[in-house]
A and B are shown apart, each in its own frame.
Chain A
Amino acid sequence: MSRVFIALQDNENARFIVEAISEDNPGAEVKHSPAMIRVEADDRLTIRRETVEEKLGRDWDTQELQVDMISIGGNVDEDDDSFTLYWNT
């Protein structure tokens, strides 16, 4: 088992994204530090477009993540509907 993580700038957008992540990934752990939010999980973490759109109340492109994302750990798999971080181990 290994931890994957994503770190986001702590801003208005990120709050909704983190809410969506928590809903879709029940095991995810959210850590707040100054100006930054880090979300960790075992082996796998998925951000789903639909859930984020629901939280934001508007259309959201998975690539918009790039504006607020400051660091990641894990392999990336991205398509129109989701953004996933994972380890193969």
Chain B
Amino acid sequence: MNAKTSKRLNMKERYRIMTRDLGWEPSYQRYEDIFPQESFEGIKIVDWDQWEDPFRLTMDNYWKFQAEKERKLYAIFDAVSQNNGQMKISDPRYLNAVKLFITAVTPLEYNAYKGYARVGRQFGGVGARIACQMQSIDELRHTQTQIHAMSHYNKYFGGMHDFPHMFDRVWYLSVPKSFFEDASTAGPFEFLTAISFSFEYVLTNLLFLPFMSGAAYNGDMNTVTFGFSAQSDEARHMTLGLEIIKFILEQHEDNVPIVQQWLDKWLWRGYRLLSIVGMMMDYMLPNKVMSWAEAWTLYYEEAGGALFKELERYGIRPPKYADQTVIGKDHVSHQAWFIFYQYGHATAFNTWIPTAKEMDWLSEKYPDTFDRLYRPRFELLAEKAAKGERFYNNTLPQLCQVCQIPLAITEPDDDTLLSHRDTVHDGERYHFCSDGCRDIFHHEPEKYVQAWLPVHQILQGNCGGADMAKVIGDYYRIEMGEDNLDFEGSAEQRRWAAWKQAV
């Protein structure tokens, strides 16, 4: 930091000189040729100078703070790999959450890096552009620290070894992939609304805080450390999300309905995506932190409530179908785990029936739904498994055209009935899991008809033929008997037992 002298300007003035004052009005090229993506979404920006910089971070301090974070982080990674830190983990089933993370979330960080680089070039306002650039490079940091955090675990456990390959191909990974590509292929303002606001500000706490606490409760030092370290960047990103929304809304009243539609869309899309996190919290963490329903109440209903109250004065209402997410919080994690359990031969992680103690925890956390709807189902499956008839579903499910989750989620007003919507577009019938997803399709059918739906692709022979064993083994690179199937009797279980003997 600089010596404090009488000549020193205050932080705001200094930051103005260091950022937006660097910009200028071009005259040799047209503004719209330099920033060609700024106007096509219909968002009207009257004056970029109204942009408020939330964190006035210049590169000198950025380097200094970030280097300090990285030093601490890599010291832990080194310690874990030098001391067989993987053996401190509570229960080998826990690692399956890590496998899901590196295949489903780490590639999203990479997409975020690229997306923010684009917007960090495309916005006409210098302040907003630089905020996006810093987020871009942070997202690259998260990608790489996650790869490095899990590098050691990859040496001892399955399911992580081909995460970029799997992300592009495996059926359930098309859920996060299509989610992020939807944002990345949109214009810069929708991208920021989707990722900075809806995802980072409204939903990111639901991903990182439970995941990190879960790691802490289950002895995963690397994940706790990278998680907290990443989250310290996240506080900056969240603020960018709130500032960009306020900025767009303040710029022009015509922006309000456009933003409202994006908020409706992206809350729903984010909510569907996070079913995977709900399942991870309720089923995959041997030592539980809190239930998905509790997390949704705390981080969405309470924190999000304050936020949408703040936005009311711009004419923004809470996202459409938010009420359905509140009903759904008692169901989604169970329904998601049930999907993965029955397709556990096509997953890059192990699946299992919750233990009796775990089922009791679920009963306690979900008094209205678990004993009535889900416990009987798991007990039946457990009985079959005990007889050597572990259930694997060999038929391919129908997927939602938008969120790409199998149509196995129930109606908001009837939890015994599967929710299914459809519509005909250009003579072709499309299927959806919900009103929320169907609305999204109707708004931009030309976009969603393009979706790469894994089941359709398998049926069309684009994933290595009709033989599912080949699709899973060759096309997905999921190694049969090593990466997939039930945890009970798995290679992971056997190896862990042997290693524990050696400890």
Contact = CB atoms under 8 A, between A and B. Distances in A.
Contacts of B55: 63, 66, 76, 78
Nearest to A9: B228
A87 B238 CA distance: 15
Given A61-B1, A76-B239, A87-B306, A70 B65 contact: no
Contacts of B303: 3, 5, 73
Contact of B61 (A5, A36, A63): A63
B232 A3 contact: no
A66 B213 contact: no
Interface residues of A, number: 30
Chain B interface size band reads 35 or more
Given A79-B12, A80-B11, A70 B228 contact: yes
A7 B313 CA distance: 27
Interface string B216-253: 11000000100010011011101100100000000000
Interface string B301-319: 0110111011011000000
Contacts of A78: 11, 54-56
Interface string A54-89: 000000010110111111111110111000000111
B309 A89 contact: yes
Contacts of B238: 71-72
Given A66-B55, A72-B235, A79-B11, A2 B306 contact: yes
B231 A70 contact: yes
Interface in A1-37: 2-5, 7, 9, 33-36
Contacts of A87: 306, 309-310
Nearest to B213: A34
Nearest to B14: A80
Given A33-B213, A71-B209, A66 B235 contact: yes
B341 to A, nearest CB: 29
B256 interface: no
Nearest to A62: B11
Contacts of A89: 306, 309-310, 312
B143 interface: no
Contacts of B305: 2
Q: Which of B12, B224, B302, B310 has the most CB of A within 10 A?
A: B310
Interface string B173-194: 0000000000000000000000
Given A68-B232, A87-B306, A34 B239 contact: no
